[in-house]
Structure 1
Amino acid sequence: MVVSDDETVYVAAGTTRYHEYHECQGLSHAREVYERPRSSLPEEFTLCKLCSGAYHLDPSDGPMVTASRLEELDPDDVG
């Protein structure tokens, strides 16, 4: 999915990653999540690797496997 500039994206406080989906696992531990139009984000913001499809979680992964795989990622990659 390509996010247009006027679509709502989701940003965890204190990060420079944005997410296409509020349900993204990359946001699961965020204390605060803000809805923003894509066009309002500074240029340095990048799309989360989970949302972009660059990193895949298996649908059969349970919460512990998902948490383990997320821990393997650079925190800056998932925001």
Structure 2
Amino acid sequence: MRSSDPAAPSRGPRWRTWMWGTLAVFTCPCHLPILIALLSGTVVGAFVADHVGIALLVLLAFFVLSLVNALGRARRLR
């Protein structure tokens, strides 16, 4: 049964918090060498290997975005 107390913390969809956290782990810039190795032999892998700086900036942007969202949602669940 749901609580009608407005001060009770919202349990909300926890799966979104986990998905943002998983995205933060996969887009961490320290995983770039692993990403290049996994994508080797593909067009995307060749692009990433040739443009490591751009790939690093894009991964860093996604990492920060997903980490901020994951931590913000985790704080709201408390």
Answer yes or no: same fold by TM over 0.5: no
Q: Which of the five TM-score ranges fits, normalised by the shorter chain?
A: under 0.3
The structure whose Rg is larger is 2
TM-score, normalised by the number of residues in structure 1: 0.25
> Larger relative contact order (C-alpha < 8 A, sep ≥ 6)?
2
More strand by share: 1
- Structure with bigger helix share is 2
TM-score (norm 2): 0.25
